[in-house]
Amino acid sequence: MRSMTNIVWTAAVAFAFLLGDVSADSSAPYPSDFAWGAATAAYQVEGAYNTDGRGMSIWDTFSHIPGKTANGDTGDVADDSYHRYEEDIKLAVEMGITHYRMSISWPRIMPNGKLPLNPKGVAFYNDVINTLLAHNIEPFVTLYHWDLPQALANDSAGQSEGDKLFGKGWLEASVADDFVTYAEACFLQFGDRVSNWLTFNEPLTFVNLGYGSGTHAPGRCSGCSLGGDSATEPYIAAHNVLRAHGKAVARYRQLKAMAPSMLDGKIGITLNCDWGEPFTSSKDDEEAATRFLEFQLAWYADPVFFGTYPASMVAAVGDRLPKFTAEEAAQLKGSWDFFGLNHYTSKYVKKPDYPAPLPGMGTSWYADAHTTQTDTSIDGILIGPLGDSSWLHVVPWGFRKMLNWVAERYGNPGIYVTENGCDVPNESKMSLAEALDDKFRVDFYRGYLSNMAEAMKDGVKVKGYFAWSLLDNFEWADGYSKRFGLHYVDYSDNLKRYKKSSAKWYHDYIRANSPGKSHKLRMANPNAGKGGGETAARHRTLKASIASAVLGFMAALVVVAAVMTGRALVKYNHEHQQRHSHVSGSHSEDEEEDHPSVRSDLLSPRIGLGGKSVSFTSLGPMSSAATGRPSRRSPRGVHSATSASSRMQGSVSMGVLAQDGRGLSSMGPSKSMGQLTHLSQRKSHTNLEDLALQSSEPSLLG
């Protein structure tokens, strides 16, 4: 009996080992559908600023003005991801992420900021999206990451150099409508495969630095050479951004009901905020810290959730704060499906020693907020280690508090941490070997992710996390002098990419905290890029089914092996006893028990060949054969191209946005109105793939 007991016990241990290889610790707070990702932005990584019909953006213009960026750096080439996106996606796959946050360049698909579309720009993003899906990575798409088309500049009646260069930009109410047209084009072009959208990235930053301090495009402020008014323009620009967000979300929800091919996706906005810790426990400092958070985050989040600006801002800013119409307020309220949060650092906040300006009489957003921030406590202790950027201190505990504050103020919405990361002190001056050994960044991620996990245990509904950034990139006014990437980009040697220690650490953390997921085997999705797409739920169901089948098969093998071994051992024991009895007589039962008949190491749970475990993580070259990338017969028809020169030629009709709401998702560039009517009638009972396969004309559908 002991022989069989040993077999069964060893088999159980082996099966438990197999289960443990794909399961997380039961105490981990991360759900099985948690989004693990990394982020980039178009202008920061793509380059190819004047390639394949792309128009200029305000950052192209701004970065070419001497003195506006460190070392005169521009995004002309950046990381050249426009030509090297497959290489970058391979890095993402190897890191084990499930989601990739990217942005679409408005001037790349709309060179003039308005219709018509640029087919080559659309083709590029189809390539990127389909390649991601082919490797089981879901795109998380930002519509606006600061690259306003330069063509929208209006130089009429310009009184300053800035007006002549940039026009009014987000100061013009009409730009909100231009944005909605652009957003609609993106929804219809890519919405059959993209299920997560962000309208804007960090309006606090591009509004305050672009219209308040003048350090970012379009470089406006009181006293700036490009003109501006820091007391009013940030509020006007922010107001128009919020109007654009509300309109775009409303249009997205309409299109989901009207366009059968679109996924039932979700949409939100990404807002950024530092945590403000009261300098002391005094009422004045606590109120200052709350005001600090409201002037940063609630400025945008309150309208999105409640339809109104924070009371503290209304009181301080007065008539300089624009008012929403009743229709705009109603449209804004509830214009979210999740909360996008960028967070990097924290500060101590206290009430200033000087009096607040009279209501409505402040000279800037900073004056209106009436707070003082410091990096040291009342005891003179630094709030946290300093990164390479003067504004970035490593304060993991502030992250947990920030997440809880969002949950408490806004009714605990699902939160995606859409950016979090750091630069390493003096990294740009290090040797390659030193830069790759980025222990400082590893410690940052370890601390921040630990505090995010604690916030989740507090009850905060964090749905996903995106590290900033997948790659070192163009860091706006800092140019290439600051590095935030998990992967090193060698700007002096052909933009070669190298894994940093942080990329390896993040891979291991994801794997250890992804219950029910295997990050050893990433299967290509054969349906990536087809009309209607694969929803996230279907992806997860497929992966779960495969994992269950594999585990079931392995368990069956263990049981069969145990039974067969048991039978063999019974037979062996019987024969052995007969031979032994024949030679030397019978044993006592005690003597038999002292000689176990099975060695436990014969049923080792180790899987592999020659005692070495088998790894499925390595990827070969990303050819269409290896990756399952869609062929040219896929409904988006441009996905097999691997260079800009081989992408689809053609033009898009001015009538791309049809009144039936289908527009771009149902027409090619040269179809007549009669053909369009015929296609739209058929669309209710067919899909984009069918339309593409039945038409021999070149189009955005293929």
Tens digit of pLDDT for each residue in 464-514?
Answer: 999 999 999 999 999 999 999 999 999 999 999 999 999 999 999 999 999
- What would the two tokens of residue 279 be? 């300098």
Q: Active-site residue numbers?
A: 202, 419
- Residues 82 and 115: their CA atoms lie apart, in Å, by 22
- Residues 624 and 127: their CA atoms lie apart, in Å, by 12
Q: What is the pLDDT averaged over residues 517-526?
A: 39
Q: Which residues pair with 142 in a beta bridge?
A: 103, 198
Q: Which DSSP category does 457 fall into? A: H
- Residues 365 and 317: their CA atoms lie apart, in Å, by 8
For strand 496-499 and strand 339-342, is the pairing parallel, antiparallel, or unpaired? Answer: unpaired
pLDDT of residue 302: 99
Residues 434, 440, 445: CA angle, nearest 5 degrees: 130
Q: What is the pLDDT averaged over residues 19-46?
A: 77
Count of helix runs (H) and strand runs (E) in the chain: 24, 13
Residue 370 has pLDDT above 50, yes or no: yes
Phi, psi of 22 (to 5 degrees): -120, 0
pLDDT of residue 166: 83
Find all residues with CB under 8 Å of 430, minimum gap 6, and list them. Answer: 424
Find all residues with CB under 8 Å of 317, minimum gap 6, and list them. Answer: 235, 360, 362, 368
In the chain, pLDDT over 70 holds for what percent of residues? Answer: 68
Residue 116, classified by CB atoms within 10 Å of its CB into exposed (0-12), middle (13-18) or buried (19+), is middle
How many C-alpha atoms does 575 have within 13 Å on its Cβ side? 6
CB 456 within 8 A of CB 462: yes
- Min mean pLDDT across 197-211, 271-285, 383-397, 516-530 is at 516-530
Residue 250 has pLDDT above 70, yes or no: yes
In the chain, pLDDT over 90 holds for what percent of residues? Answer: 66
Find all residues with CB under 8 Å of 408, minimum gap 6, and list them. Answer: none
Nearest to 139, CA basis, from 54, 30, 265, 304: 265
Q: What is the pLDDT of residues 202-243, one digit of tens each?
A: 999 999 999 999 999 999 999 999 999 999 999 999 999 999
pLDDT bracket for residue 646 (50, 70, 90)? very low
CB 285 within 8 A of CB 353: no
Nearest to 242, CA basis, from 289, 191, 288, 298: 298
Residue 307 has pLDDT above 90, yes or no: yes
How far does CA 102 lie from the centroid of its chain? 6
pLDDT bracket for residue 564 (50, 70, 90)? low
Please, what are the domains in the chain? 24-422+437-464+503-515 (3.20.20.80), 624-694 (no CATH)
How far does CA 295 lie from the centroid of its chain? 25
- What would the two tokens of residue 646 be? 């081989």
The label of the residue with tokens 């499930």 reads 98
pTM check: above 0.85: no
- Min mean pLDDT across 5-19, 535-549, 572-586 is at 5-19
Q: Which DSSP category does 529 fall into? A: T
pLDDT of residue 158: 54
Residue 159 has pLDDT above 70, yes or no: no
